[in-house]
């Protein structure tokens, strides 16, 4: 049986794995321009290197249908942990996480 408690004092969200309908994963890539500008004030070379480096944000999407109560959330995960979270979620739900970036790339072809 599915359970969902969104307004519990202790839990912001509590779901049974069977209520999960979809898992997704996506990342946002951006250049560290802001950081680079700050560092460039001190050392121009290091600032330039930082400006050309990229940082990624990893997002995990979870949607659910708990006894007719549908919803979804996006969570930002650490770069060292997002794979573990995805595998854990895939393992307990039996759903395969959809890579939204891959889907978008296919659509743009």
Partner 1 sequence: MLEFGHPDHRRRAVAEEAALTNDMVIKMVQGGLPADTIIRTINTAPTVNFGFLPSDLTAISNAKVPEDVFKAMALRHKTVVPVPSAEPVPAKSATPTPALVSVAARPANIERLSAAPITAPTGKGYAVKYSGGSLESLKAGEDLKLFVASEHIALPR
| Among 76, 85, 62, 73, CA closest to 28 | 76
In contact, 83 and 23? CB cutoff 8 Å: no
Cα 23 to its chain centre, rounded Å, is 10
Residue choice 33, 37, 48, 88 for contact with partner 1 (CB under 8 A): 88
* Stretch of 29-37, 39-47, 55-63 contacting partner 1, by CB under 8 A: 55-63
Asked whether 36 and 50 are in contact (CB, 8 A), the reply is yes
Task: Candidates 46, 53, 72, 104: give the one binding partner 1 (CB under 8 A).
Answer: 72
Residue 104 engages partner 1 in binding (rule: CB under 8 A): no
Task: Check residue 73 for interaction with partner 1 (CB under 8 A).
Answer: yes
13 sits near partner 1 (criterion: CB under 8 A): yes
């Amino acid at each position: 049986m599915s359970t969902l408690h969104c307004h519990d004092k202790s839990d912001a969200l509590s779901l049974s794995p069977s209520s999960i309908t979809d898992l997704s994963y996506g990342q946002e890539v951006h250049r560290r321009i802001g950081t680079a500008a700050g560092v460039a004030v001190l050392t121009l070379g290091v600032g330039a290197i930082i400006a050309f480096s990229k940082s990624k944000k990893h997002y995990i999407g979870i949607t659910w249908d708990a006894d007719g109560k549908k919803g979804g959330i996006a969570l930002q995960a650490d770069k060292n942990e997002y794979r573990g979270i995805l595998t854990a979620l895939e393992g307990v739900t039996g759903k395969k996480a959809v890579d939204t970036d891959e889907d978008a790339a296919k659509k743009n072809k």
